[in-house]
Amino acid sequence: MADSYKYDIAAYELTKLLGVQMIPPVVEREIEGRKGTLQVRLENCIREKDRRRKKLEPPNPKTFSNALEEVKVLENLTYDECQDADDLYVHRDDWRVCRVDFSEAFAPMSELMPGCGITVCSRKFYEGLLKLDEESVKSALGRYLSIEEIGALLNRKDLIITKIKALIGEKGEEAVLF
């Protein structure tokens, strides 16, 4: 699998297109002739694996669980490792979940991530997926992703929408969209 700092930027730009905030801001910079990214440092956060190890429980378990499940939607969309506890951070003040390190994402795979099931999604994220089109993706991500990677991303978007629609048909909208 390819490894590129550009995928971190692409993931951040993608969440901006979707209207969701799961990734701290990322920018491209050149330092001493080497290109890479700088990302906003997460303050007052704990890695998800450390939260589990310390047995820290959120004040609203359902909201927290939904946030973790929504990250799975993003991981499927970007085709990045599912629920890697090193890449998940939890804000200690409001229990928001952030995901970092997409450097190995965006494989040109036109399928969803194996073992990364989608069960729920926020309405905002779902509506962002419905509005996401080829032109906006190419415009925002074309500097960072190849045509093949963009095509696979759009195919995964369609698969995710199909999956969410099927879940809504099976369980009802209120059980799937939060």
Strand, coil or helix: what is 42?
Answer: coil
Write down the pTM of the prediction: 0.94
Does 5 score more than 90 pLDDT? Answer: yes
Q: Is 162 exposed, middle or buried (0-12, 13-18, 19+ CB in 10 A)?
A: exposed
- Helices 123-131, 147-171: axis angle to 10 degrees equals 130
Give 133-143 pLDDT, tens digit per residue: 999 999 999 99
Write the pLDDT tens digit of every residue in 75-96. 999 999 998 888 999 999 999 9
**What are residue 35's phi and psi, to 5 degrees?**
-85, 145
Quote the DSSP letter at residue 27: E
pLDDT tens digits, 95-116:
999 999 999 999 999 999 999 9
Residue 1 has what pLDDT? 60
The pLDDT of residue 84? 87
Q: Strands, E, within the chain: which ranges?
A: 26-31, 34-39, 45-47, 88-91, 97-99
Banded pLDDT at 21 (limits 50, 70, 90): very high
Q: Which two tokens stand for residue 123?
A: 């309405």
When pLDDT is cut at 50, 70 and 90, the band that residue 2 belongs to is confident
Cα distance between residue 97 and residue 22, in whole Å? 7
